[in-house]
């Protein structure tokens, strides 16, 4: 079974600074997807970024980028130029490709952006 570990329950960062959230996972699969989801206080889970395991290039979405290290089974999220609206819970998630498409989540990191 796959497991996802987020080792930082809480983090804080000053507005406009950069912060990195850690995520490691354990799997014997070779083909899979990794995701970062954001859950603000409104509770709506929002997809931040997606990475296919077969792609060596790290995914980027505006201020959000990942550092995907397949051999190390590591998938960290970097948020540049942090904004107050980035305050949220962030969940790392794993999905096996070609299977039942269910997501396995980490326990989350609560990020607070301070003014």
Partner 1 sequence: DVKVTQSSRYLVKRTGEKVFLECVQDMDHENMFWYRQDPGLGLRLIYFSYDVKMKEKGDIPEGYSVSREKKERFSLILESASTNQTSMYLCASSLKNSPLHFGNGTRLTVT
Residues near partner 1, by CB under 8 A: 9, 33, 35, 37, 42-45, 47, 50, 91, 97-98, 100-108
Query: Least Å distance between CB 115 and partner 1?
Result: 25
CB of 91 or CB of 113, closer to partner 1: 91
CB of 44 or CB of 57, closer to partner 1: 44
Query: Least Å distance between CB 103 and partner 1?
Result: 6
CB of 18 or CB of 40, closer to partner 1: 40
Query: Least Å distance between CB 43 and partner 1?
Result: 5
The 3 state secondary structure assigned to the chain is CCEEECCCCEEEEECCCCEEECCEEECCCCCEEEEEEEECCCCCCEEEEEEECCCCCCCEECCEEEEEECCCCEEEEEECCCCHHHCEEEEEEEEECCCCCCEEECCCEEEEEEC
CB of 18 or CB of 60, closer to partner 1: 60
Question: What does each C-alpha distance from 1 to 27, 70, 81, 94 come to in angstroms?
Answer: 7, 17, 36, 11
Query: Least Å distance between CB 62 and partner 1?
Result: 17
């Amino acid at each position: 079974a796959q497991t996802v570990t987020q080792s930082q329950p809480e983090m804080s960062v000053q507005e406009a600074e950069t912060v990195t959230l850690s995520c490691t996972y354990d799997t014997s699969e070779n083909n899979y997807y990794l995701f970062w989801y954001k859950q603000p206080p409104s509770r709506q889970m929002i997809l931040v970024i997606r990475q296919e395991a077969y792609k060596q290039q790290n995914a980027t979405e505006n201020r959000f980028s990942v550092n995907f290290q397949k051999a190390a089974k590591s998938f960290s999220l970097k948020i540049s130029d942090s904004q107050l609206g980035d305050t949220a819970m962030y969940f790392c998630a794993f999905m096996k490709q070609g299977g039942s498409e269910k997501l396995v989540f980490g326990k989350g990191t609560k990020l607070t952006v301070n003014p």
